[in-house]
Structure 1
């Protein structure tokens, strides 16, 4: 009798350990890896995916099985110690103490610790037997869920919890692995940059009109050719009269094809014939949509206008790609235009520099929700147009105003404030 009770208790403890380890493995399994393995034809991964698709029923079935074997083991332990010590409080105390230690160590901590170190492999190993349990206990779990939901409604407690979107889960995973050192800062910026595209508009990433290199279409052809050759850009807007009046886009390759047959005589260059029609896009266009337009139209250059049709800037495919991969430099580019690190650790910044570019160049975390440029951020936070010599502290950074032109802040010195 005593041996039979002991063997039964050990078997039940083993079943409890199996349920505990299975719960940990299945709830912590990587859904992304299971999905990929299922696509590759792994049937065990497919079983895992079916189970975790309905976590509530999965957890309910495992808890049901675990509680049943634990309670039964406790009852048998009480009977065993009653046989050993007779009726009375000593048997109950002994049974409670021994079962608490056995369940805690061998049926909870040990299997869960093992499962957490081999999450995916164990999840695939236990998926089929747990699947049988879930199928067999489904009607009981459904009944329990009805009782629970009814009780919560009677008590007036809200039951639904806000579920994380797929994007939030990805962002959370990226930040978690970055904080643990598994993802370096550059890779984190690229991954998050791809997710950020849908939240940005063309206005956020465009080159401001004050920084656009343009050519006057009324200049002599030779002058235009020389200035085009001296420019680091392959596409140059041409204007006539006011800079707002863009008459076309000059592409360096088109210019070269037209100029070569003429030899050195550029006076007969047909400039109008090689200009490309300018493409204007609204500044409110989502960056993701603009990327799709660039790819579908096979054009990499667009001029940005506001609601009144006035020129605000330009955007290229490279500008959008830089939001993902960071600054793309060639032999003609300046490393980070408008950002000049100083020997004392501070950074001199031109007011027109986009906050996102400054963050990428310095590794800072200045907010860009309320303003696009650094000057815009200072004006927004200060609620005034500051004068040279003024200093402000916002978001853990000190902003010293260096230059102002009319109503525009054109130069700042920024330093990060050390905390602690």
Structure 2
């Protein structure tokens, strides 16, 4: 066919060609809108809506029913693609005859992939929020018209899937909101948008509902307490010489906690006329102890501390036996990290050696070690590093015994009776390289 005949053909069918171009533009619009509205940030849209952006409100209402939105956009996209392909094929029949179907298939595939899929979706994903705000008013009108048809199609699909044994009637997300937020923070940290300290603080807030008091409490073996049966002057000296402002008071045995002494209350009592250290009644100035179960989660315990306006609680097990104590500061440290002041003891329990290994006290909490060294040792079955080694070894190891798990080599350096008090940890790769 000559060039003159081609131009004559195009002049006669310009309206159909214009229709095909418009249909391709509509397909690009549907593809880009789908990509933008499914990738847009709901948190960002909520913020913009709160600031008065009406288009952000439209976006939020559209993505509330994401299945209906996507179904409607796919319906519109498929309709315009089929119509555009049919028109193109009918036009090419008069131009190339029997080769019309082949030429139409190849040309439409190239046009659809490049200009109706890759280009608009790449543009939308590059700036999903801005793209979503721009297309939301037009998409809302289309959803209002074609939404019922999409809902009917979704209902048929759900019924067919239910008959096949696939239950999609309950719209339950695979990840909870906390898991999604944690994953987003971890991703932003790996990309460099969130520093490690901020990631740890956000993770600490999210973990409060998953951790129990027993995970962070000061164990009874490390708990400093005052014996009420000691002479008053000894008790006064012990309380005022302690780095802690609150100390439990016990009588008979450490399981019998009868009060909590605040150093300020003691100083106030000593300042009264005629009161001497050897005459003071420690029990009288002690506050009533507050006992909490060791299974209480940290979120509830934090709220209880704030509600009662107390800073210390005695932790007991299901039999009422004292297991340790927990303070408001212990919970806050799970969020903001270690809170140190000029009176804190400089005992961290973690020491970096020149050979790259880490010497750790057995009582160091796994969570603290993970936070300090950016490790990911599991803390579901054990709270301390020693507890993790015992759990993995299924026994109480002897000194100099070594174990490899979770990519680390743990060597028991010191054991006192049945307690592992010091360990050396090094990467398992470096240990293998040295053999």
Q: Residues 336 and 23 of structure 1: is their aligned pair in 2 closer, same or farther, counting only changes over 3 Å?
A: farther
Matched with 2:131 is 122
Which whole-Å deviations, capped at 9, do the CAs of 1:34-93 have from their partners, x for residues lacking one?
Answer: 1222233322111111111111111111111111111111122223323333x211x333
In the alignment, which residue of structure 2 is the partner of 1:175?
Answer: 186
2:30 is aligned with 1:19: yes
Structural RMSD (CA) = 2.1
Question: Does structure 1 conserve the Cα–Cα contact (< 8 Å) formed by 2:220 and 2:322?
Answer: yes
Which residue of structure 2 aligns with residue 99 of structure 1?
A: 108
Deviations 1:379-408 (A, max 9, x none): 111111111111111211111112222222
Q: Which sits farther off after the overlay, 332-341 or 101-110?
A: 332-341
Between the aligned partners of 2:413 and 2:390, the Cα distance in structure 1 is 14
Which residue in 2 is equivalent to 1:215?
Answer: 226
Q: TM-score, length-normalised on structure 2?
A: 0.90
The reply to whether residue 350 of structure 1 matches residue 361 of structure 2 is yes
* Aligned CA distance change for structure 1 residues 139 and 363 (closer, same or farther; 3 Å): closer
CA–CA distance in structure 2, aligned partners of residues 153 and 266 of structure 1 = 79
Counterparts in 2 of 1:262 and 1:400: CA distance versus 1, 3 Å: farther
Given the alignment of the two structures, is residue 415 of structure 1 paired with residue 426 of structure 2, yes or no? yes
Counterpart of 2:271 in 1: which secondary structure? helix
User: 1: distance between equivalents of 2:378 and 2:152?
Assistant: 50
Task: Give 2:375's match in structure 1, choosing from 356, 364, 374.
Answer: 364
User: 1:278 aligned to 289, 297, 302, which one?
Assistant: 289
- Name 1:232's counterpart in structure 2: 243
1:388 matched residue in structure 2: 399
Of 62, 85, 97, the residue aligned with 1:74 is 85
Choose which of 398, 401, 405 in structure 1 pairs with 2:409: 398
Q: Which residue, 127, 147, 150 being the options, matches 1:138? A: 147
**Partners of 1:302 and 1:316 within 8 A in 2:** yes
CA contact (8 A) 1:336 1:361 kept: no
Maintained 8 Å contact 1:212/1:313: yes
Q: Does 1:31 align with 2:60?
A: no
Greater CA deviation, 303-312 or 265-274? 265-274
Structure 1: 5+ residue runs without aligned partners?
none
Give the Cα–Cα distance (whole angstroms) in 1 for the partners of residues 71 and 227 of structure 2.
74
Query: Across the two proteins, how many residue pairs are aligned to each other?
Result: 418
Q: What is the distance in 1 between the residues matched to 2:143 and 2:48?
A: 22
1:111 aligned partner:
120
**SS at structure 1 position matched to 2:376:** coil
Give a deviation string over 1:195-252, Cα, whole Å, max 9, x none: 1111111111100111112223333433333332321111112223433332321111
User: What secondary structure is seen at the aligned counterpart in 2 of 1:393?
Assistant: strand
Is 2:103 aligned against 1:88?
no
Rounded Cα–Cα distance in structure 1 between residues aligned with 2:323 and 2:161? 56
Tell me which moved more, 261-270 or 198-207.
Answer: 261-270
Please state whether the residue corresponding to 1:199 is helix, strand or coil: coil
Deviations 1:259-299 (A, max 9, x none): 22358943333323311111111112222211111011000
Query: Is the 2:399–2:414 contact (alpha carbons within 8 Å) kept by the matching residues of 1?
Result: yes
Q: Would you say 1:320 and 2:348 are equivalent positions?
A: no
